[in-house]
Amino acid sequence: PSILAGLPKDSVFRDFSNLEELEEDIQAIKKALNANNGGNQWLVIRNLTETAIDALASEESPFPDVEYCFEWDGSVGLVKIFHCVLHDYVVENTAKVIDHQLRDMGVPTNDCKFHRNRATVYETTSYGKNADWIFTPASRRFDDEGSCWPTLVIEAGVGESRGKLIENAKWWFANSAGTVRIVLLILMGRKDVRFEKWQLTTDVPDNQGERPDDLQIVSLDPYRIAYPAQKVRVTEDGVFGAPMTLHFEALYDRPAR
């Protein structure tokens, strides 16, 4: 699918000139996100040079005052701007909760740690991408090229970004040939935070209380489909749909022992 699939209609489009002008556009989007506590968080950049792609995809950001994720397809780039400190807080604490629960289960500390994903770019022929946070068990951390696909990916954004984040989940499943087992979407709204656990299966269970159009089932091949296996919503009034379950075998590629 196109890198633009699922983007909100108010996404900003720019032709690349230089990194200084690009930073101005990114700062303007960040300012609007903070002022409105939501809205568009995407900047589409056309006609990117290879040098600019390398700078945007590098571990050391050219924009130290802005947190973002970057992906590109050919000369078209897409920047997802994190809208405020709350974004990082929610995502980082979600990762910490999972880490703590794994340690409580007796998993060694060196085998239950999330990490930010700007240090690693996952590439196909012309497409490159990073995620907010990833989980990679020790058995997968190194291959002949020095990196490998994670088992779990966190993709976060504002509520208006759900369509694009679903497309991102599909990208992880399809391009990893299913070795990414879970994509956890975190959608931050003005009055709630929603968590959606996406995964692959050959059968789609009947989810009581959900309309068929809410499932947004996507065919990856004739036998594998991606779907939201579980949804949890957090508001001031409580937590609905909990607890969310992450299966040990999916995280670690092995049975618990």
Do residues 72 and 127 touch, judged by C-beta distance below 8 A?
Answer: yes
- Cα–Cα distance between 140 and 38 in angstroms, integer? 36
| Domain 85-252, CATH class in plain words | alpha beta
How far is 30 from 85, CA to CA, in rounded Å? 11
State pTM to two decimals: 0.88
Q: Where are the domains of the chain?
A: 12-81, 85-252
**pLDDT value at position 118?**
58
Q: List average pLDDT for each run of 10 residues in the chain, which is 257 residues long.
A: 91 97 96 91 97 91 89 96 82 87 83 67 79 85 65 94 96 90 95 95 53 47 78 96 91 81
Q: Output the pLDDT for position 212.
A: 42
Q: What is the pLDDT of residue 145?
A: 55
- Per-residue pLDDT at 208: 42
Per-residue pLDDT tens over the stretch 215-242:
444 545 555 788 999 999 999 999 999 9
Task: Give the whole-angstrom CA distance, residue 186 versus residue 233.
Answer: 10
